[in-house]
Amino acid sequence: MQSGAILVTGGAGYIGSHVVRQLLQRGEQVVVLDNLSTGFAEAVQGAELVVGDTGDAALVDRLLTEHAIESVLHFAAHTVVPESVENPLKYYGNNTCHTRSLLSCCQHHGVKHFIFSSTAAVYGIPDSPYCTEDTPTDPINAYGASKLMSEMMLRDLSRACDLRHVALRYFNVAGTSPDGDIGQSTPRATLLIKVACEVAAGRRERMYVFGTDYPTPDGTGVRDYIHVEDLADAHLKALDYLRGGGESVTLNCGYGHGYSVREVIDAVERVAGHPITVEATDRRPGDPPTLIARSDRAREVLGWTPRYDDLDFIVKTSLEWEKKLAAGKAYGV
């Protein structure tokens, strides 16, 4: 489906690049805006890449005008939770203030559709291990709070003008493109599956398990892991939904079931064919024992049907990418 040009902010990053590729594969006209602070130009294959900041209003104004942008997909953000605790103003400045600037430009130019990359971190430590979109939001770090503020701005702006939006709250994103053309090369990554695969590929000496005394079957935290290709497809489904006249909505993106840290490590060792070095340490403040998405609403509203709900497959694609990085055959080395 093609209907108007699309601006993708942060489209050279991990998730954004997978979305850009899916958009291009179906013939969309895509422009990527990325400052390459954590993204890679090599990840943008076939779209125009403009290097710059989302908060640069003059640049955004020019792009929206020159390309007659109808839809914006907004991924550009800082995403490292511990860093957001240490340097909260960095996160409010980039994630919230730059989003406010982007939204102002969108309003001025009459952008019709806006898809926002949000996070399960907006829920904080929920009372229930399963989160619906109606679970109270109570973020416990600047990352989650900065994203929630952006959701609020989107909500209020959509009520005040013709812009309609979909905010997608991601759970734990993992995996890479099955063909190995693009992947996750984020430096100093903290995501469990990537870290474990880095160890398995010899790119990291060991990994740490933060807490083994949670009230879970094996004592380690349980999370809902979603393959990046399924998450990217949810964005395309959200775009189609808005183009079809859908109303603004906030949706969870996950598979609806979880795996423990120990189960993930077992899967990495199983796929790699050898053990990895693991060290147990204390819990991290603010980590809930279990966090799993209820994403029935996304399936119903968007007609979204995930294809890669298999832990070993998610690990396999991640490990293959880490092996390419270890061999110097992928970008981000």
Is 143 a catalytic site residue? yes
Is residue 164 located within the same domain as residue 217?
A: no
Q: Over range 317-329, report the average pLDDT.
A: 97
Stated as kind and residue range, the H or E segment containing 72 is strand 69-74
Is residue 129 located within the same domain as residue 273?
A: no
In a domain, residue 164? The reply is yes
> For 80, phi and psi rounded to 5 degrees?
-95, 110
Is residue 207 located within the same domain as residue 101?
A: no
In single-letter form, the type of residue at position 326 comes to A
The confidence score (pLDDT) of residue 2 equals 54
Where does a domain end: 253, 272, 305? Answer: 253
Q: Over range 171-187, report the average pLDDT.
A: 94
Is residue 141 located within the same domain as residue 154?
A: yes
Q: How far, in Å, CA of 194 to CA of 187, rounded?
A: 11
Q: Which of 13-22, 144-153, 267-276, 282-291 is least confident?
A: 282-291
Q: Is the pLDDT of residue 1 over 50?
A: no
pTM: 0.96
DSSP per-residue letters across 241-272: HHHTTPPPEEEEES-S--EEHHHHHHHHHHHH
Residues 134-160 have pLDDT tens digits of 999 999 999 999 999 999 999 999 999
In a domain, residue 332? The reply is no
Catalytic residue among 14, 91, 123, 143: 143
In a domain, residue 235? The reply is yes
Is residue 318 located within the same domain as residue 307?
A: yes
Is residue 9 located within the same domain as residue 112?
A: yes
In a domain, residue 181? The reply is no
Q: How many CB atoms lie within 10 A of CB 239?
A: 24
If DSSP codes are grouped into helix, strand and coil, which group holds residue 88? helix
Q: Which domain holds residue 283?
A: 192-223+256-326
CA 21 to centroid of chain Cα atoms: 15
Is residue 53 located within the same domain as residue 19?
A: yes
| pLDDT band, very low/low/confident/very high, at 190 (cuts 50, 70, 90) | confident
259-260 β-sheet, strand order: 130-131, 290-293, 222-223, 259-260
Q: Over range 178-197, report the average pLDDT.
A: 93
The answer to whether residues 221 and 260 touch, using CB atoms and an 8 Å cutoff, is: yes
In single-letter form, the type of residue at position 330 comes to A
Query: Strand ranges (DSSP E) for 194-328?
Result: 207-210, 222-223, 225-227, 249-253, 259-260, 278-281, 290-293
Q: Over range 256-281, report the average pLDDT.
A: 98
Is residue 30 located within the same domain as residue 162?
A: yes
In a domain, residue 38? The reply is yes
Is residue 280 located within the same domain as residue 150?
A: no
Is residue 213 located within the same domain as residue 235?
A: no
Number of domains in the chain: 2
Is residue 199 located within the same domain as residue 318?
A: yes
**CATH code of the domain containing 167:** 3.40.50.720
CA pseudo-torsion sign 273, 218, 293, 7? negative
Is residue 168 located within the same domain as residue 276?
A: no
| pLDDT band, very low/low/confident/very high, at 282 (cuts 50, 70, 90) | very high
In a domain, residue 209? The reply is yes
Q: Is the pLDDT of residue 79 over 80?
A: yes
Where does a domain end: 253, 270, 301? Answer: 253
**CATH code of the domain containing 262:** 3.90.25.10
